[in-house]
Amino acid sequence: MLRLRTMLNADGSAPKISLLALLSRFTILALRRYPELNARIEGDEIVMSPPVHLGFAAQTDRGLMVPVVRDAQAHSLEQLSAAVAERTLRAREGTLGPAELTGGTFTVNNYGVFGVDGSAAIINHPEVAILGIGRIIQRPWVIDGQVVPRQMTELTLAFDHRVCDGGTAGGFLRFIADCGAAPELIEDQHGLRRPHLRHALKGIQHQVPQRGDVAGPDEQHDIGVPGYQRRVLDLRDRHEPGAKRLP
């Protein structure tokens, strides 16, 4: 991921891409595969809707705020990076309106900027999950029996068990980790590559994606495409025999 960011930012005339934007993009792709986590609790119902309204924690002089990038799944990587930077600046200036601080469906918390490796992030109610991102630091890692230095980060996921079980949450987290380890496997249609990078990434073999795998070339749609409908599940039926399971 760090190498990819360096490549993306090598063009001095192009907008710079932040690490948070890259990880947010991976998160959006993961939410497409695990839409149970892109949801809100409304009364006795779990409401899943097509768009990803991505919140991100921003520390300001007024305390912690969570600006929201609406319809984040429709943003290119460059647009997403610019939106995060713009909202972070306005949060610190105190110029964000209420509509820009509410309505999120999932939140990312980059506490790594404070030198923290891991933390138990608190879910931003009424959302059902939050992803925590630790600092990126060089650590010893064993590869083929040899200890080598690797840039590592810790990802944590807090989620509401009323929405999904550990298998779904684990697959979601693994998907993001896989994207971070091999982001070159993400297809152009997801907005990760720029045209000038295609030659450098040419020849990589892709797999048809499964849950928990990195995205492949057969994935051509994102959350929000026709046919992906708003879904509602009654919490009172969630764990009863025969209860409807989230897709």
| Whether pLDDT at 244 is above 60 | no
CA neighbor of 107 nearest in space, from 189, 52, 174:
52
Residue 218 is a catalytic residue? no
Q: What own/partner pairs with CB < 8 Å and gap ≥ 24 does 117-126 have? A: 117/154, 118/154, 118/156, 119/156, 120/156, 120/158, 121/156, 121/158, 122/158, 123/158, 123/159, 123/160, 124/55, 124/66, 125/41, 126/40, 126/41, 126/42
Tokens found for residue 18? 């932040």
How many residues are given for the chain? 247
Which residues, including other chains, have CB under 8 Å from residue 180's CB and lie 6 or more apart?
1, 23, 26, 153
Residues 140-154 pLDDT 10s: 989 889 999 988 889
Helix H or strand E encompassing 7: helix 2-8
Residues 51-98 pLDDT 10s: 999 999 998 988 899 999 999 999 988 999 999 999 999 999 999 999
DSSP letter (8 states) at residue 68: E
Q: Choosing from 161, 188, 196, 237, which is the catalytic residue?
A: 161
Superfamily of domain 2-237, CATH level 4:
Chloramphenicol acetyltransferase-like domain (3.30.559.10)
Q: Parallel, antiparallel, or unpaired for β 137-143 and 146-152?
A: antiparallel
Residues 2-48 pLDDT 10s: 777 777 778 877 788 888 999 999 999 999 999 999 999 998 899 98
Q: What is the pLDDT of residue 230?
A: 53
CB 41, CB 48: distance < 8 Å? no
Torsion of CA 206, 210, 214, 219, to 10 degrees: 70
Tokens found for residue 201? 């990434």
pLDDT band at 185 (very low <50, low <70, confident <90, very high): low
Q: Choosing from 11, 71, 165, 234, which is the catalytic residue?
A: 165
Report d(CA 154, CA 135) in Å as an integer.
7
Residue 165 is a catalytic residue? yes
